[in-house]
Copies of this chain bind each other. A is one copy, B any other.
Amino acid sequence: MYHYIKKLMYTVNVGTPSVPFGRMLLEQFGGANGELAAAMQYTIQGWNCVDDLGRRDLLLDIGTEELSHLEVVGALIRMHLAPLKTDREAAEADPLVTIAGGGGVALFDSMGNAWTADYLKIIGELDVDLRSNIAAEARAKIVYERLIDHTDDPGSIDTLQFLMTREITHLKAFTAALESLEKNPFSIGRLKPSPGIVDEFLNASKGEGSEGDTDMRGPWQNAFGLHLVDAHGGPGDGLSIGDVHGKIPGEDRGKQDSAQKAGTAVPESELVGSKG
């Protein structure tokens, strides 16, 4: 359960309010990569994660912090939107907030799109959820960076710098949580991919490019056992599809190769309850 402490996690000061900047900030309140999305994604993953109580705790620690961040972003936005109430031109630029919302914050992004749970990535497989979270933190970091680039107000920058920094903290924590599972990075779930075909990088885009590019080569065509095959339009389009067979009982399928089960907790020795 939750308690709310009547204090912002970070004190917000705004020198010069800017309605257009306040509107930009809505991306981190009700936007696709914003704080509510982060809070909900991690918290619900945590509630679903009953097999690994350590990482459950991690998910709820960070999910809860993101809720506190949502409040900080909201306070920052309210200060920037304040002129909406007296400045008609500003009001016209953001009619939804002005007319429907009375100048307060609400769960919209910078273009007035209502927040939707379609933004969330919750697949219910712990290692995969951690990967989704790592990507989410990286995106949020970029969004804060871009916001900092669009303001000169020192107080706003301070707050955004704080929030941006915490995304890197969470990125580190989620990475540690994933790596400590000690899974092979290409072993996802329980079923093995078909050998042979799994290592064929298909060259499906061809020819000289409009951007001056030709058919390029890169490490993604020879790392991790990969090699290049060319699309040719025939059966399998160049892939050795003869190697694919249905899921049958036996050694070769339906088992996970070497990695631990995704949901496996950190060994007892590493997880010590604070009261234990």
Contacts and interface: CB of A to CB of B under 8 A. Distances in A.
B236 A48 contact: no
State the 4 A-B residue pairs at the shortest beta-carbon distance, nearest first: A102-B124, A111-B112, A214-B273, A6-B209
A102 B232 CA distance: 34
Contact of A122 (B2, B104, B219): B104
A53 interface: yes
Interface size band for A = 35 or more
For this chain, the copies found in one complex come to 6
Contacts of A165: 193-194, 197-198, 244
Contacts of A27: 95-96, 99-100
Contacts of A55: 218, 220
Given A188-B171, A205-B5, A47 B244 contact: no
Given A64-B204, A216-B274, 15 more contacts: A2-B4, A3-B206, A27-B95, A36-B40, A68-B237, A101-B122, A109-B112, A118-B118, A134-B135, A142-B188, A158-B244, A162-B197, A172-B220, A175-B223, A217-B274
Contacts of A95: 20, 23-24, 26-27, 110-111
B204 A4 contact: yes
Interface string A132-166: 10110011011101111010001101100110111
Contact of A220 (B11, B58, B190): B58
